[in-house]
Amino acid sequence: MVAEMTYQVRVADFEQGRRWYEVFLNRAPDFVPHADFVEWEIIPGGWLQVAKGTPAEGSGPLRLEVTSIEKERQRMKEELHIDFFDIYSREGVPVKWVTFTDPWGNRLGFFGNMNEEMQQPKYN
């Protein structure tokens, strides 16, 4: 049985990467176990790790559920200077989603439920 999970992205410039992910996630890391490595607990038991290193080509995307993709798209543009990205949906799929990259080429994104019942916060 799986108890927790981690997802790691690597950045060539660790200090710049740490700051970038602090803005992306709207907070400081939850855990700093050693130099050039930080972690955020995104949901209970689900950790995003940022480490110094060479990004893995073609990995991801890691998509995080948000309440408003449109608001997050605007925030990414204003705070992280990410170019405009399209919001996608598909008939029969109850979510919409976006994908973009960080400055090191790691693929990230957001998704949002279009079903109102599913839009309620799941974690505090």
Tens-digit pLDDT string for the chain (124 aa): 778 899 999 999 999 999 999 999 999 999 999 999 999 999 999 999 999 999 888 778 999 999 999 999 999 999 999 987 899 998 888 989 999 999 999 999 999 988 766 555 555 4
Please confirm whether the linkage preceding 61 is cis (ω < 30° from 0). Answer: yes
Query: Could you tell me if 71 and 98 lie in one domain?
Result: yes
Flag whether 56 is in a domain: no
Look at residue 123 and tell me if it is in a domain: no
> Could you tell me if residue 124 is inside a domain?
no
Whole-structure pTM value? 0.83
Residue 1 is part of which domain span? 1-51
What lies within 8 Å, CB to CB, of 61 at 6+ separation is 99, 107, 108, 109
3-state secondary structure of 14: helix
